[in-house]
């Protein structure tokens, strides 16, 4: 008798074994209501065996085909159906497995552009980042297969919506961005790694600890972190440094003994002290100013040299500007002067932390305000380094219900009270799902009614995705992220086994519906540019109002802090557009540009004045109050900060949050300072044509954050968007 060889999928050959067929049929039968019929199983197996016994070799797929048809011809068609279903699932799994392998292989040989360039803050060539990216590939695959609701996975993969940050969440119960409760941590002490940290006694120590906290927090969340009002939070430690220096001065300049020194009440505004010990006062003042400057220099270097467990520099933001005391002013000055100086011997523009300057009448807005000098410093800094962006304190209060800086680059919390007190620090965002508006506009073929019907359908899926994000965090125990839940970064000190549920509820945390491409949506639906027609401007606003009303309804229904967020779309601008081009073809002005426009922004290629852009965009934030920013493109303003002030003052009255993009590029070959030319593949010096990334410093705004694309190239869509940018002056 011939021994038939079976060719397996990996190409290896094994002798045919009838028992394996019987086992497979029994397994299929076991899933049916009629259960196993050994007699039928044996008969089918015999039939197949006879058929193939004359062959020397047979492919495994052929054997399965034979089993399938023999089963279909038996009295157990139900078992045949199970058998077929099982085969299909296995085939699908194998295909998935092989695509997963491809992604992992692509990471290894650096060809997986999608993963490597998704986040311009990550250097995908380095080992720690590759570990993070590898984990991301696996986590995303697992989450899509076993965790995220099927309808949401399908909508994500076909590009109807975007379930953000799947490389971290939902595989890990991890949230997006936050305001770190730095004040609570410093005042009450906390445990970091193996060390118990007490309240610092100088600004040097306070900033060193702040850097450590930021690094730890950044490793436990996937979005950005913000120190909200860092000047006010760290001011007590400047006061401590002043005391320290004053005491040293008394000891050495006035030979005072310890007991007498300790009896004095030392603080900067103490006039009597100043008059009694003038030299000592000047000495302490000078040393404290110097120490504060140095402390913030160290902090800036720390943040720019750190790599979090997520394989990147922490996305960090400092909000400041409202403090009026001498100590608070010293911090504001230190932050700005360090930024003006730049990093390293070439004085390169740092990308992190993002700086946001809070502007307010009576504080720093007008020449008669006490901190007007600091506004001048902020203007100078912005012309040289692009940051700080500005916040209009009254507008943020009006639009979001209370004052706070954004979490990360643009996510804003609503008002929330605990024990009758407004609470901001320690709160966070649970994540985002973004709707692809241009797609449903294309599908609606010019019908507004169809557009809103399709929008309703899409929003139901978005809501399902968002509620899934919330539910993933529910029941999570404090021990999974000690820095956040047990040591105070999220504003509470829980026990390891405590649930974090109360931190998620009643609007304490936000959960955000995002949207992209109002510009393309209007163009597709009505065939005209939103800027050119007052009626269309209203239509654009109507869509955002509609989305906002949905988010509010969901909030009322579920008790969770649903908000509408204007998605920055770093890589999404490219992904949505590409998928729509594949599905609907090249559509002029919509899919032919290679990118979709950020949230409610005017398309970057529209030539308008900054004032016109501000006028167009100013009405959106009050509806999309879970996240927003407006920015304008300028020529270099280094020689003309007065012009920037005119723009800032105009924005202050109209916009909650505003940034300016000005050229701050530098050629390290020829010394040119100004704006490099964007090309399809990178950037080149206009003076000497140098395009070597190693000798170029090119800084561009990527979303709400800056980025250095000469070092880590943007994805193709973002590069196209950068190429299309026109100046607004």
Partner 1 sequence: MNIADYKKYDVLNGKGLRNSLFTSGCRHHCKGCFNAATWNFDYGTPYTPQFEDQVISDLNVEGIKISGLSLLGGEPFEHVDGLLGLVRRIQQECVGKDIWIWSGYTFEEILADTSKSELLAYCDVLIDGKFILEQRNLKLQWRGSENQRVINVKQSLHQGKVVLQD
Please report the DSSP string for 329-355 in residue order: HHHHHHHHHHHHH-BTTTTBPP--SEE
279 is a site residue for partner 1 (CB under 8 A): no
- As a whole number of angstroms, the distance between CA 590 and CA 580 comes to 9
647 is a site residue for partner 1 (CB under 8 A): yes
Contact 412, 396 (CB under 8 A): yes
**11 classed as catalytic:** no
Q: How far is the CB of 646 from partner 1 (least distance, A)?
A: 4
**411 classed as catalytic:** yes
Site for partner 1 (CB under 8 A): which residue of 123, 373, 498, 645? Answer: 645
- Burial (CB < 10 A; 0-12, 13-18, 19+), residue 541, is middle
372 is a site residue for partner 1 (CB under 8 A): no
Site for partner 1 (CB under 8 A): which residue of 51, 337, 611, 711? Answer: 611
Q: How far is the CB of 606 from partner 1 (least distance, A)?
A: 16
Q: Which of 707, 727, 729, 705 is nearest to 719 (CA)?
A: 707
609 is a site residue for partner 1 (CB under 8 A): yes
Marked catalytic residue, from 112, 121, 169, 176: 176
- CB nearer to partner 1: give 546 or 611: 611
Q: How far is the CB of 625 from partner 1 (least distance, A)?
A: 23
639 is a site residue for partner 1 (CB under 8 A): yes
634 is a site residue for partner 1 (CB under 8 A): yes
CA atoms within a 13 Å half-sphere pointing along the CA-CB vector of 367: 2
**177 classed as catalytic:** yes
**147 classed as catalytic:** no
653 is a site residue for partner 1 (CB under 8 A): yes
688 is a site residue for partner 1 (CB under 8 A): no
- As a whole number of angstroms, the distance between CA 485 and CA 494 comes to 6
- CB nearer to partner 1: give 11 or 367: 367
Contact 227, 489 (CB under 8 A): no
Q: How far is the CB of 637 from partner 1 (least distance, A)?
A: 6
* Residue written as token pair 């032919």: 592
**462 classed as catalytic:** no
Contact 423, 438 (CB under 8 A): no
Q: CA–CA distance from 712 to each of 121, 125, 699 (Å)?
A: 8, 10, 11
Marked catalytic residue, from 177, 178, 280, 632: 177
Q: CA–CA distance from 46 to each of 20, 41, 43, 171, 628 (Å)?
A: 12, 9, 5, 46, 69
Which residues are within 8 A (CB) of 645 and not within 5 positions of it... i.e. 6 or more apart?
375, 379
> Which tokens in the block code for residue 580?
């729509």
369 is a site residue for partner 1 (CB under 8 A): no
649 is a site residue for partner 1 (CB under 8 A): yes
- CB nearer to partner 1: give 110 or 670: 670
Q: How far is the CB of 384 from partner 1 (least distance, A)?
A: 14
Q: CA–CA distance from 244 to each of 33, 189, 259 (Å)?
A: 82, 21, 15
Strand 195-197 relative to strand 190-192, pairing: antiparallel
For residue 720, count other CB atoms closer than 10 A to its CB.
19
3-state secondary structure 145-200: HHHCCHHHHHHHHHCCEEECCCCCCCCCCCCCCEECCHHHHHHHCEEECCEEECCC
Marked catalytic residue, from 121, 160, 316, 411: 411
- CB nearer to partner 1: give 301 or 611: 611
650 is a site residue for partner 1 (CB under 8 A): yes
Q: How far is the CB of 320 from partner 1 (least distance, A)?
A: 25
Site for partner 1 (CB under 8 A): which residue of 635, 669, 675, 677? Answer: 635
633 is a site residue for partner 1 (CB under 8 A): no
Q: How far is the CB of 396 from partner 1 (least distance, A)?
A: 20
610 is a site residue for partner 1 (CB under 8 A): yes
361 is a site residue for partner 1 (CB under 8 A): no
Site for partner 1 (CB under 8 A): which residue of 640, 679, 681, 692? Answer: 640
CA atoms within a 13 Å half-sphere pointing along the CA-CB vector of 665: 31
- As a whole number of angstroms, the distance between CA 610 and CA 616 comes to 10
Contact 432, 468 (CB under 8 A): no
Marked catalytic residue, from 178, 185, 359, 407: 407
Helix (H, G, I), strand (E, B) or coil at 478: helix
Cis peptide before 652 (omega within 30 of 0): no
Marked catalytic residue, from 387, 704, 707, 721: 704
- CB nearer to partner 1: give 649 or 669: 649
User: Angle at Cα 391 formed by Cα 389 and Cα 394, nearest 5°?
Assistant: 165
**625 classed as catalytic:** no
**524 classed as catalytic:** no
- CB nearer to partner 1: give 117 or 395: 395
Contact 512, 414 (CB under 8 A): no
643 is a site residue for partner 1 (CB under 8 A): yes
For residue 58, count other CB atoms closer than 10 A to its CB.
17
- CB nearer to partner 1: give 38 or 729: 729
φ, ψ for residue 421, nearest 5 deg: -115, 140
96 is a site residue for partner 1 (CB under 8 A): no
Marked catalytic residue, from 409, 667, 685, 702: 409
- CB nearer to partner 1: give 81 or 645: 645
Number of residues located near partner 1, criterion CB under 8 A: 18
Site for partner 1 (CB under 8 A): which residue of 178, 295, 503, 637? Answer: 637
User: Which residues have a catalytic role annotated?
Assistant: 176-177, 407, 409, 411, 429, 565, 570, 704
Site of interaction with partner 1 (CB under 8 A)? 609-611, 634-635, 637, 639-640, 642-647, 649-650, 653, 729
């Amino acid at each position: 008798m011939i021994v038939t060889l079976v060719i397996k999928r990996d190409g290896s050959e094994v002798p045919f074994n009838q028992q394996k067929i019987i086992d497979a049929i029994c397994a299929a039968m076991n899933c049916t209501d009629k259960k196993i019929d050994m007699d039928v199983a044996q008969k089918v197996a015999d039939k197949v065996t006879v058929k193939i016994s004359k062959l020397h070799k047979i492919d495994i797929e052929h054997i399965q085909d034979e089993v399938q048809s023999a089963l279909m011809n038996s009295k157990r068609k139900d078992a045949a159906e199970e058998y077929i279903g099982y085969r299909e699932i296995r085939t699908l799994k194998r295909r998935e497995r092989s695509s997963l392998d491809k992604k992992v292989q692509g990471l290894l040989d650096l060809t997986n552009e999608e993963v490597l360039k998704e986040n311009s803050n990550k250097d995908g060539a380095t080992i720690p980042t590759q570990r993070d990216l590898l984990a991301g590939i696996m986590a995303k695959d697992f989450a899509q297969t076993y965790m995220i609701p099927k309808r949401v996975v399908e909508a994500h993969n076909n590009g109807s919506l975007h379930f953000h940050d799947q490389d971290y969440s939902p595989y890990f119960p991890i949230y997006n961005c936050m305001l770190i409760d730095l004040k609570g941590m410093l005042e009450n002490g906390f445990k970091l790694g193996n060390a118990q940290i007490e309240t610092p006694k100088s600004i040097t120590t306070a900033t060193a600890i702040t850097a450590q906290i930021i690094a730890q927090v950044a490793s436990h969340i996937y979005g950005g972190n913000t120190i909200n009002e860092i000047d006010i939070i760290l001011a007590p430690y400047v006061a401590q440094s002043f005391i320290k220096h004053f005491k040293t001065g008394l000891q050495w300049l006035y030979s005072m003994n310890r007991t007498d020194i300790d009896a004095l009440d030392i603080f900067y505004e103490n006039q009597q002290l100043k008059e009694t010990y003038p030299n000592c006062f000047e000495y302490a003042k000078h040393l404290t100013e110097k120490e504060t400057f140095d402390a913030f220099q160290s902090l800036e270097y720390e943040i720019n040299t750190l790599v979090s467990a997520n394989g990147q520099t922490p996305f960090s933001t400092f909000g400041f500007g409202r403090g009026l005391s001498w100590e608070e002013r010293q911090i504001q000055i230190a932050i700005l002067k360090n930024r003006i100086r730049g990093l390293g011997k070439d004085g390169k523009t740092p990308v992190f932390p993002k700086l946001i300057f809070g502007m307010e009448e009576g504080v720093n807005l007008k020449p008669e305000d006490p901190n007007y000098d600091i506004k001048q410093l902020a203007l100078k800094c912005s012309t040289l380094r692009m940051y700080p962006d500005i916040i209009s304190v009254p507008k943020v209060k009006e639009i979001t219900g209370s004052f706070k800086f954004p979490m990360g680059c643009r996510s804003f919390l609503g008002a929330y009270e605990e024990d009758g007190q407004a609470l901001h620090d320690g709160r966070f965002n649970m994540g985002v799902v973004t709707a692809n508006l241009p797609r449903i506009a294309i599908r609606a073929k010019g019908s507004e009614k169809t557009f809103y019907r399709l929008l309703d359908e899409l929003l139901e899926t978005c809501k399902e995705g968002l509620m899934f994000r919330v539910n993933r965090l529910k029941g999570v125990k404090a021990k999974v992220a000690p820095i956040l839940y047990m040591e105070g970064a999220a504003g509470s000190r829980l026990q390891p086994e405590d649930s974090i549920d109360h931190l998620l509820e009643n609007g304490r945390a936000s959960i955000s519906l995002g949207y992209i491409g109002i510009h393309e949506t209007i163009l597709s639906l009505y065939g005209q540019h939103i800027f050119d027609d007052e009626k269309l401007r209203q239509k654009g606003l109507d869509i955002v109002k509609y989305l906002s009303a949905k988010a509010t309804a969901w909030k009322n229904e579920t008790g969770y802090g649903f908000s509408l967020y204007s998605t920055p779309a770093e890589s999404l601008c490219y992904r949505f557009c590409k998928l729509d081009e594949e599905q609907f073809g090249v559509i002029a002005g919509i899919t032919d540009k290679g990118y979709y426009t950020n949230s409610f922004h005017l398309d970057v290629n529209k030539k308008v004045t900054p004032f016109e852009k501000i006028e167009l965009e100013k009405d959106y934030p009050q509806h999309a109050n879970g996240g927003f920013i407006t920015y304008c493109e300028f020529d270099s303003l280094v020689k003309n900060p007065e012009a920037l002030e005119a723009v800032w003052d105009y924005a202050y009255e109209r916009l909650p949050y505003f940034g300016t993009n000005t050229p701050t590029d530098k050629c390290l070959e020829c010394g040119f300072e100004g704006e490099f030319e964007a090309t399809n593949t990178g950037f080149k010096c206009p003076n000497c044509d140098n395009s070597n990334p190693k000798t170029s410093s090119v800084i561009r705004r990527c979303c709400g954050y800056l980025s250095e694309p000469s070092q880590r190239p943007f994805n193709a869509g973002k590069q196209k968007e950068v190429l299309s940018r026109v100046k607004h002056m």
